Amino acid sequence: MKCSLNIFLFIFVLTIAQYSNSQMQIFNHVEPSNWWSGMEHSEVEILFHREKIGEYEVTCEGLNILKIRKTENPNFLFVTVDTENKNPGFYKLVFQSSAKKSKKKLSYDFELKERREESKLRKGFDQSDVIYLIMPDRFSNGNPDNDSDDSVYEKMDRGNPGGRHGGDVEGIINHLDYIHELGATAIWTTPLMEDNDSTYSYHTYAQSDVYKIDPRFGSNQDYVNLVKHAHEKGIKIIQDVVTNHWGYMHWMMFDTPTKDWFHQFPEFTQSNFRMTTHMDPYRSEIDYKECTDGWFVKTMPDLNQDNPLVLNYLIQNSIWWVETADLDGIRVDTYSFNSKEGISKWTHAMMNEYPNFSIVGEVWMLDQAQIAFWQRESPVAAIQDYNSGLPYLMDFTLMDGMSKCFEEPEQSWNKGMLRVYENFINDYLFTNPRNLCVFFENHDTERFNEKFPNIEDYKLAMTLISTTRGVPQIYYGSEIGMQGKRNYGDGDIRRDFPGGWKEDKHNAFDSEQRTERENSYFEFSKNLLNWRKNKKVIHQGKMMHYVPKQNVYVYFRFDSEETVMVIINNSPENRTLNLSRFKQNISNRKLAYDVLNHESYDIDLSKTFEVKGKTSYVLELR
């Protein structure tokens, strides 16, 4: 009986798969291919792509068609259906040719799926999380069978620093235990969508199909499996979304729905990258246009979010992935290169669908007022009556300060730990400074451990981002001391994680195979991040800091139950702290336990405290 049931299920699944494929043979593209019942975004605009589909009339059984949009390209038809209060199931759209004497009919069964319970109220990442940034092609090759694929141009070439190396989704799944042991609670992968560039396609920021995982990374189902397995281990998944541009090999570049789907100029025009033109009261229109409409590079055509069809396409695509894969957050690439109005509408639509969701935007600017402009309900942006709706931002000014301060052993008026202190005093500019991602490097910068090869500097930096306000983000491999020089090209700062390939002779995923140096980095990181996991005082507590003296920065995190004192001595010399200076925070506490060094100290306001050179302390005051 059990055997017969299994055969029945196999035949049923095979039949559904064959039926789905036959539908897609009728149409080149149907996007989105399905939707869900009970969505806020209930008016779904379905793109149908097929030769001369624009010449057809459309009806639908069971769904009200609100709008049919035909464009100057007859190969496209945009059909908006109303799914509000509709039950899950299949709804047939029938296409009748309007050509004289033609009786040709086409059909497509559009599925409304059952939405996950509480999907709308899903909780995104927050200050209790630590984000682990992975470049999938360089992390681990879990499935060698998909290293190359006939459907895409570039094949695996691990010997080429700028080529594809074979890392994939399965490789990440295989090492979730490693990430969990480290103490990270969320994974942000650089984009996984198909990128069919002939070269340099591994980074996947020039996407050729945004509804499809690149076959060299795996399948859509593999991605769903990654999220499922990550959730089982208490790890969240953040998707990297690119709303500003696609790749020159995107299928719409060969058959474009409208003339203004992409920004076009009489000749190639690259962005001037002057994001300040968004808020500059004296800007010229040509400068603003070149920033927002110019192409990132020649291989990345710029999307026109001011076209309602484009904007809705991007909104629906992101919602589709959140529902399909059960995502926990989104990181938006080059957020401030988009149309200011367009990206605000995209963000508001996403947050309306998921009010507790987390979206962080990449705004790579080095002025805090200019960064703060992009946070939702920003008082800075309110001057211009603008509200992006964006909850989270990346603290690039802190990253910039950290890239300099640790090579400054002597403090001056604006150097050393003063750079860090001055960064935080400008938090008044932000709507919510806790909603900043804090980091000292990412996939576009020189490796921190390259610039600062001593573990002492790494410990200072890790202590800072793990205990200050905000959400810490670390870059894969930093926790084992990986290095990489920006001047040697992107391939060098995106090296393969040792042990991620079966042929690797050295496996840094395994504690027994790590070098002594690698284990020193890992054990420090593991100890600090796992301590942080359950520290509400770090996640939500208040912060008070003191002006650095002699290159020693001291701050406190505290709430009604706990007080943590953080000391970062950036000087190579030992320093003596007069504890009476910190009376406001130490109060009557007499004992301090150092989380990093596992030592206890007596605390007496009438005495001093000796701190070692280039050493950090995280003291639980009791």
Query: Which residue type, as a one-letter code, is found at position 26?
Result: I
For residue 39, give Cα distances in angstroms to 31, 60, 81, 417, 505.
17, 19, 13, 49, 50
Q: Is the dihedral of CA 395, 558, 550, 595 positive or negative?
A: negative
Is 306 in the active site?
Answer: no
Backbone dihedral region for residue 369 (phi beyond 0: left; psi -120 to 50: alpha; all else: beta) = alpha
> Does an H or E element contain 293, and which?
helix 285-293
Crossing angle of helices 308-325 and 340-353, in 10° steps, is 30
CB neighbours of 152 closer than 8 A, spacing ≥ 6?
Answer: 194, 196, 201, 214, 215, 216
The closest alpha carbon to 544, from 531, 533, 530, 555, belongs to 555
CB neighbours of 534 closer than 8 A, spacing ≥ 6?
Answer: none
Q: Is the dihedral of CA 349, 353, 356, 358 positive or negative?
A: negative
Crossing angle of helices 418-425 and 396-405, in 10° steps, is 170
Is residue 189 classed exposed, middle or buried when 0-12, 13-18 and 19+ CB atoms within 10 A define those classes? buried
Distance CA 262, CA 253 (A): 9
Catalytic residue among 195, 362, 450, 457: 362
Is residue 602 classed exposed, middle or buried when 0-12, 13-18 and 19+ CB atoms within 10 A define those classes? exposed
Distance CA 203, CA 328 (A): 22
CB 112 within 8 A of CB 37: yes
Structure tokens, 136: 């999938």
Is 516 in the active site?
Answer: no
CB neighbours of 107 closer than 8 A, spacing ≥ 6?
Answer: 26, 92, 93, 94, 95
Catalytic residue among 333, 353, 441, 450: 333
Positions marked active-site: 333, 362
